[in-house]
Amino acid sequence: MTGATADPLARFGRWLALARKSGEPLAEAGALATVDGRGRPSVRFVLLKDTRADGLTFYTNTASRKGRHLAANPNASLAFYWHLADRQVRVDGRVRPLTVIEADRYWTQRPRGSQLATAASKQSRPMASRNDLIEEVGRLERLYQGTAVPRPEHWTGYRLVPREIEFWRRQEPRLHHRELFVLSRGRWSSRLLQP
């Protein structure tokens, strides 16, 4: 089966909703794979915060390892695995930073404790002791007592704009259903893959 098809991001949204309904803990957690400027890969989990027609959104510190990787090479991949729903999705594409307005809007929705922890952390950098981090959170708590915690310049969101999305559904005996969607010239086409 090959040909033009509907937007697979709508299907991703339905599958994410199904994973949540099935009781999957942290269904929005995806493994984000990036590579540095020399092509060395790294993977870690991020929390998906938004799914839109133009991609998948997550937030992080731009000075973190993932932020440095994305600055050097904006190609990335996100993978979601939902054991209880017997499904997984892989999304490959290019990542672009969100606008300041988008980052500010989301920042104001975060719990105050998360804002303080984010402002205090020099994510991915070595630290002498955990107590230093806790003291920095306390210092910022006192500094911003009674006022809003400003969004640090180094903290923003990214949107993974997909060019390929693969849907995998468990089918026994190991006859899993795989469908790959590829974006070309603004149109999605799909084809089935061998398990």
pLDDT of residue 6: 77
pLDDT of residue 5: 60
pTM: predicted TM-score of the whole model, two decimal places: 0.91
The pLDDT tens digits of the residues spanning 142-194 come to 999 999 999 999 999 999 999 999 999 999 998 999 999 999 999 999 999 99
How many other CB atoms are there within 10 angstroms of residue 130's CB atom? 8
Residue 59 has pLDDT above 50, yes or no: yes
Cα–Cα–Cα angle for 82, 66, 62, nearest 5°? 125
pLDDT of residue 124: 85
Cα–Cα–Cα angle for 123, 125, 126, nearest 5°? 130
The pLDDT tens digits of the residues spanning 81-93 come to 999 999 999 999 9
CA gap 137, 127 in Å, rounded: 14
Residue 1 has pLDDT above 90, yes or no: no
Report in angstroms the alpha-carbon separations of 183 from 3, 16, 61. Answer: 11, 21, 29
Which DSSP string do the residues of 75-90 spell out, in sequence order?
A: EEEEEEEEGGGTEEEE
Which DSSP string do the residues of 39-58 spell out, in sequence order?
A: S-EEEEEEE--EEETTEEEE
The pLDDT tens digits of the residues spanning 72-127 come to 999 999 999 999 999 999 999 999 999 999 999 999 999 999 999 999 998 888 99
